[in-house]
Amino acid sequence: MENVFLGSDAIARRELTEYELRRWYRPIFRNVYVPKDGVPSLRARTTGAWLRSQRRGVIAGVAASALHGASWVDDDQVIEMISPSSRPQAGLLVRNESLADDEITWACRLPVTTRVRTAFDLGRYLPRGEAVARLDALMRVQIFSAEDVLLLAKRYPRARGLKSLRKVLSLVDGGAESPRETWLRLVYIDGGLPVPTTQIPVCDRRGRLVRMLDMGWEDYMVGAEYDGDRHQTDRHRYVKDMRVMPILRRMGWDVMQVIKEDRPDEIVARAKAALMARGWRLSS
């Protein structure tokens, strides 16, 4: 028997008794069960949501982006689904929306919105910062065209959130390697600085890669890197970073290292000072 199943089906097929179902399994959605001795993965919960829809729903939103390969989706993420009807319940969000056949594909044996329709939904429903981060992650593994998403928007001119969608699409950059890198990029943009380029290769005179910077302004040789928690737990990476920074400085780069405790206004001020020292002006 699969690890995710409908309890009523298992009992009807006499694979389990009601006592055995209650004894060894627990529900994650109504009538959807998993073994008690483990924590269900995002994939298991997504499968369970689809089973709960009597196999009629289509996985959408953040869960859909994960099925397309996007990273940074937690196992306890609310599963979004487009389906004709379903009673609301914890951990499952169902929308009864129009969905054309060419907006549906299959991934991991589950019906899922296409990457373009997934981007369309993420950009409409999520808050700006989260929407850009989710779209960055999707763009990184499943390149989609903003023009295709806007073309889809013309199919649904009265859909909710179209104004927000247009704004976030202009900010998407698949070069972001984490949600915090997306956050940092938006801090710079919102602070009035030029849009930074992501994943800048810095090479020595022999053409050997010295560092791939998270983001920066190549014309001014100013870079920025977000140092997350991994730098505190990965000693090898920490040592490597400390050794490369002097090399970058000798090559003429001014690289700022940002941590989560830094305030946005401080981050912008540091970058602004570094850029202006290299010749950038507010009117440029």
pLDDT tens track for 68-96: 999 999 999 999 999 987 777 999 999 99
Tokens linked to 94: 């169902």
Inter-residue contact 83 to 58 (CB < 8 Å): yes
* Domain annotation covers residue 282: no
* Cut 0.85: pTM above it: yes
Give dist(CA 10, CA 178) in Å, integer: 41
Residues 151 and 204 in one domain: no
Rounded to whole angstroms, the Cα distance separating 61 from 93 reads 10
Q: In the listed set 134, 169, 204, which residue is the last one of a domain according to the structure?
A: 169
Examine residue 216 and state whether it is found in any structural domain, yes or no.
yes
- Among 284, 200, 210, which Cα is nearest to 245's? 210
| pLDDT attached to residue 282 | 85
Q: Is residue 163 part of a domain?
A: yes
**Domain shared by 162 and 242, yes or no:** no
Question: What's the domain range around 250?
Answer: 179-277
Same domain, 56 and 162: yes
Domain endpoint, select from 169, 195, 220 = 169
pLDDT at 228 (0 to 100): 76
Mean pLDDT (10-residue bins), the chain, 284 residues: 87 96 97 95 97 95 98 97 86 96 97 98 98 98 95 97 97 97 98 97 95 97 87 65 90 96 97 97 75
Same domain assignment for residues 185 and 115: no
CA–CA gap between residue 284 and residue 271 (Å, rounded): 15
Edge-to-edge strands, sheet with 5-6: 5-6, 32-35, 25-29
- Per-residue model confidence (pLDDT) at position 1: 43
- Residue-level pLDDT at 39: 92
Q: Are residues 45 and 83 in the same domain?
A: yes
Contact 282, 191 (CB under 8 A): no
Is residue 219 domain-shared with residue 140, that is, in the same domain? no
174 occurs within a structural domain: no
Residue 255 falls inside a structural domain: yes
Backbone angles phi, psi at 14, to 5 degrees: 60, 30
- The number of distinct structural domains making up the chain is 3
Instruction: Residue 6: count other Cβ atoms within 10 Å of its Cβ.
Output: 18
Does a structural domain hold residue 283?
A: no
Same domain? For 263 and 206 the reply is yes
